[in-house]
Copies of this chain bind each other. A is one copy, B any other.
Amino acid sequence: VRPPPSEAQPRARLPLTLKVARYVALTPDEASVLADLQSATRSIRRNQEFLSEGQRLGDLFVIIEGVSIRYRILRDGRRQIVNVVLPGDIAGVPGCFFEGALFSTKALTDSTVARVSAARLVGLLETHPRLAAKIFFSFTCENEIYAQRLIAIGRQTALERTAHFLLELLNRLQVVGLADERSYRLPLTQELIADALGLSTPHVNGMLRQLRDDGLISIEQQRVTINDIEALSLLADFEGTYLGPFSMHDLADDGKSAGQ
């Protein structure tokens, strides 16, 4: 009864074009420029830290495949994961514009990324300013993910937080076609979940177990299944509306008038 390990891959290679396209409408021309940006891909091995705190780097990485974490380790060893980086996300922004990156980013699985030089992105300001604006705008959407997580970590109980985390990942993975209706593959250990949620590993273990005992979720191997999305959302006070796709489509349409 060994499940095929390559379960998620056959799912047609996504026309990811950076997930920007999920957020805003692109002209064909823009789409092709975007595709071109991601042309040169590179492989990253599991556990490789490809962006390091303090590093002054002029590159960003569009994640084509694989899961990474963005984190920081405090002096005494405590670690906080500030983001789980999924395919379609961009790593290295705005670190590449600051003096040095503020966080490290490490691949959890073997990954494929497209390296884009910051200079080239900024060059878009000149050559395709509207595309540049759309890309930058798409970065803004991450704000809501962070804000939402701030609430979870700041004011929700361990159980609620855990539920929230699982739902957030479900939604984000669905956006890029890596999750089906109720389940997805989650390459995170409980220790990593703990560091993302500001909890201890044993306690995360207990919370997951409780969610399982209550029949809200199932976990086997690395596959998470949400059995009752509604109940879990209620528990977590979760609304998926903040995770794409949404309505800048209306506004930033092609050559049409912008004044509504």
Contacts and interface: CB of A to CB of B under 8 A. Distances in A.
B259 A140 contact: no
Contacts of A151: 72, 74, 80, 82
Contact of A80 (B74, B122, B150, B260): B150
A197 B197 CA distance: 15
A74 B239 CA distance: 12
B140 A241 contact: no
B144 A147 contact: no
Contacts of A45: none
Contact of A146 (B99, B132, B150): B150
A137 interface: yes
A198 B154 contact: yes
Contact of A198 (B97, B155, B195): B155
A8 interface: no
Given A74-B237, A151-B80, A155-B79, A97 B146 contact: no
Number of copies: 2
Interface in A67-114: 70, 72, 74-75, 78-80, 82-83, 93-94, 97-100, 102-103
Contact of A247 (B75, B97, B147, B241): B97
Contacts of A100: 241
Interface of A: 58, 70, 72, 74-75, 78-80, 82-83, 93-94, 97-100, 102-103, 118-120, 122-123, 125-126, 129-130, 132-134, 136-137, 139-144, 146-151, 153-156, 195, 197-198, 237, 241-242, 246-248, 251-252, 258-260
